[in-house]
Chain A
Amino acid sequence: ELKVEQNPLFLSMQEGKNYTIYCNYSTTSDRLYWYRQDPGKSLESLFVLLSNGAVKQEGRLMASLDTKARLSTLHITAAVHDLSATYFCAVDIMIDMRFGAGTRLTVKP
């Protein structure tokens, strides 16, 4: 059975610091997605990673995909309070996406 594991599950950061969220998965897939969810809200698409070695950046967030290692990372640079949210990775297995449990990020002033 496909497993998608994120770590850490909870992350408390100071503003201005850097950190990385990891997403490991247990099956072959070339497509991985990162979503952001604010409390009580829906999922906002952040990154779509469609091939091995894909790297995408948007503002203070950068995502990468290593399909051979079955690993994706979401790197946060110089965190700001507005980044506080829950971040999910999801692995594409053709007709559905299997989500990780999410990383709840809190950025403190």
Chain B
Amino acid sequence: DAGVTQSPTHLIKTRGQHVTLRCSPISGHKSVSWYQQVLGQGPQFIFQYYEKEERGRGNFPDRFSARQFPNYSSELNVNALLLGDSALYLCASSLQGYITEAFFGQGTRLTVV
């Protein structure tokens, strides 16, 4: 049974560019959350989506946006990339709209140069 899958695994972008990260949750899970983990820190909550609706948003600028598709997969979009956006982006899948147990994907390592 496939776990949470994210793509791509690594990405290098230039400042000012746009990036799209993708996540497929565990089969049967309807909630996807996105986290940003800067090197040496704990993950920071960006978004949660449940049944294709945004249920929560962390303290991130409007350059960050996301959506969830009918098959419950999700995309995280970041516009006008800054050097400070370099991080590991983690997608977490959970069964319901509130967290009971979240399962994390392997992450996408984004480097902005």
What 0/1 readout, one digit per residue, does chain A (84-107) give for beta carbons within 8 Å of chain B? 000010101011111111100000
Is B102 close to A, CB under 8 A? yes
Main DSSP-derived SS at the A contact region? strand
What 0/1 readout, one digit per residue, does chain B (45-59) give for beta carbons within 8 Å of chain A? 100100000011010
Is A48 close to B, CB under 8 A? yes
Q: Are B103 and A45 in contact (CB under 8 A)?
A: yes
Q: Are A42 and B99 in contact (CB under 8 A)?
A: no
Q: Which of A35-80 contact B (CB under 8 A)?
A: 35, 40-45, 48, 50
Q: Which of B78-113 contact A (CB under 8 A)?
A: 90, 97-107, 109
Q: Are A94 and B99 in contact (CB under 8 A)?
A: yes
Say whether, besides A42-B104, A43-B43, A102-B41, A97 and B90 are in contact (CB < 8 Å): no
Tell me the count of chain B residues lying within 8 A, CB to CB, of chain A. Answer: 23
Main DSSP-derived SS at the B contact region? loop
Which residue of A43, A96, A99 contacts B99 across the interface (Cβ within 8 Å)? A96
Q: Are A33 and B104 in contact (CB under 8 A)?
A: no
Say whether, besides A95-B98, A97-B99, A43 and B45 are in contact (CB < 8 Å): no
Q: Are A95 and B97 in contact (CB under 8 A)?
A: yes
Q: Are B43 and A99 in contact (CB under 8 A)?
A: yes
